[in-house]
Amino acid sequence: MLQPFTQKKALIILLLVIGFLFITWSIFYTSQERTEPTWVEYVVRLFLFPLQKATNSIVNFAVNTWETIGSLARLHRENHELREELVRLELKLAQLEGLKAENDRLREVAGFRTGSDIPLLPAEVIGRSPSPWMETLIIDKGEKDGLARNMPVISKEGLVGRLFRVGPDFSEVILLTDSRDGNSMSGVIERTRDLVYIYGYSSGRKGYCLVRPSDLDVDIQVGDKILTSGASLHFPRNILVGVVQEVRDHDDVFAREALMKPVVNFSRLEYVFVITE
C-alpha cells in the first residue's frame, strides 16, 4: 500500500535534484565571459520578451496616465485661479467705472453751482417715499446746514419741488407731481408769458402735473414750456418746470386744462440743489 507513495516521493526528490543541478549549471555556465548568448539564454529571452514588452507597455501607460491626470488637475486648479482673478479684476473695473461716473456727476454739480448766481446748497438723494400716494425724496442736508421748510429744490435740468419737512441732518422734498392739497404753484408759458397754475396730478398719469390757465384768453398749446413765475410764493422766476404734453379743451372755458410733464426725471435724481435764499 505504501509502495506507490514511496515511488512518487522518490520521483519528486529526483526531479528537484535535477532542477537544482540544472539551475546551478546554468548559473555557472552563463557567468562565464563569452561573446554569444547560450541556447538556454536565447530560449529564456525568447519566452520572456513578450512578457517584458507587455509589462513595459503597461508601466508606460500607467506613468503617462498618472502624469496626464496630474496635468489635468494642475490645469483645473490654474483655470480656477484665473477665473477668480478675472472676477476680482472685473469687480475692480466696475468700481473704477462707478467712481469715474460719480466723479463726472460731481464735476457737473460743481460746474452748475459755480455758473449760477443763485445761492445753492448741493445735496445727495438718499431715499424715496415708498407710498404710491406721496411723491417725496429724502436728501442728506437739514437744519444743521441752514435749511428750512419750503426752500426751493432744483436740479441742473429744472425745478424739483420744495422742502416739506426738515430734520437736523436730513430733509424731505415734496415733488411737483405730488397731488396732496396745497402742493401747487404759479407759472408762466414761455411763449406768451401768460400766467398759469400748476398742481400735482394723480388721475391715472403718475409723474405728470395739471396746468390750468389763469384767465379765459390764455393760449396754451402742446409743446409749450412752463417756467416759474415772479408771483410764485416759494420759487424764483424763470426756472424751467416742464413741457405741455396734452391740452384738454372743454365746453366750459373755465374747465380747460393741460397735462405737463416735468423736465426732471425724478426716478434718476442723485444730486439736487437747495436754493438757500
The DSSP secondary structure of 185-249, one letter per residue, reads EEEEETTT--EEEEEE--SS-TT-EEEEESSTT----TT-EEEE-TT-SSS-TT-EEEEEEEEE-
Same domain? For 51 and 128 the reply is: no
Spatial distance between the Cα atoms of 59 and 52, rounded to a whole number of angstroms: 10
Distance (Å, whole) CA 243 – CA 261? 6
- The reported pLDDT for the residue numbered 247 is 92
Report pLDDT for 171: 95
Note whether 239 and 275 are same-domain residues: yes
Query: What element of type H or E holds 257?
Result: strand 257-262
Parent domain of 84: 8-28+35-115
Position 245 in a domain = yes
Residues 130, 248 within the same domain: yes
* pLDDT of res. 48: 61
Q: What is the pLDDT of residue 30?
A: 57
| 21 located within any domain | yes
Domain end position, chosen among 98, 115, 132: 115
Q: Are 244 and 258 in contact (CB under 8 A)?
A: yes
Domain identity same for 22 and 96: yes
Q: Mark whether 91 and 196 lie in a shared domain.
A: no
Q: How many domains does the chain have?
A: 2
- 206 belongs to a structural domain: yes
Judgement on whether residues 19 and 78 belong to the same structural domain of the protein:
yes
Question: Do residue 81 and residue 136 come from a single domain?
Answer: no
Do 235 and 215 share a structural domain?
yes
Looking at 115, 134, 160, the residue that finishes a domain is 115
The answer on 128 and 73 residing in a single domain is no
At residue 54, the pLDDT reads 72
Question: Closest Cα to residue 185, out of 137, 152, 234?
Answer: 234
Q: What is the CATH number of the domain that holds 244?
A: 2.40.10.340
Mean pLDDT in each 10-residue stretch from start to end of the chain (277 residues)?
A: 64 74 63 57 62 72 79 81 76 69 63 67 88 84 94 91 94 93 91 92 80 89 92 85 89 78 91 88
CA distances from 149 to 98, 127, 139, 237 (A): 33, 18, 13, 19
Cell of 253: 372755458
Residue 274, beta-bridge partner list: 121, 153
Q: Which of these three, 74, 99, 115, is where a domain ends?
A: 115
Same domain (yes/no): 67, 163: no
Identify whether residues 94 and 167 lie together within a single domain: no
Q: Is residue 2 part of a domain?
A: no
> Is 1 contained in some domain?
no
Within a domain: residue 247? Answer: yes
User: Are residues 74 and 135 part of one domain?
Assistant: no
